[in-house]
Structure 1
Amino acid sequence: MEHLVVTMLTADEDQLNTPAWTMSYKIVSGDDQQMFSVSSKPNKQGAIIRTVKPLDFEKRHEHLLLVTVDNDNPFSTPLRIYTASVTVRVKDENEAPVFRPGERIISKPEDLPAGTELVTYSATDPDTERKQTVKYKIGSDPAGWLLIDSQTGLITVRSSMDRESDFVQDGKYTALILAVDDDDDIPATGTGTLHS
Structure 2
Amino acid sequence: MPGTFDDEERRLVVQSVVIGVVIWAIVYPLKVGVHWLFHWTLHSLESLGHGPQQLLVLLPLLVGALIVALIARTRASLIHYRDNEGVIHELNDVEGDGLERAIALYYSSEPAFEQVLQGQEGLDVRWQLPTFSLAWRKFAATLVTLGSGGSGGLEASVTLIGESSSAGLFKPRHPIARANEKLA
TM range (shorter): under 0.3
Bigger radius of gyration among the two: 1
Q: TM-score, normalised by structure 2?
A: 0.23
Structure with more of its chain in helix, by fraction: 2
Q: Which has the higher contact order (CA 8 A, sep 6+)?
A: 2
Q: TM-score, normalised by structure 1?
A: 0.22
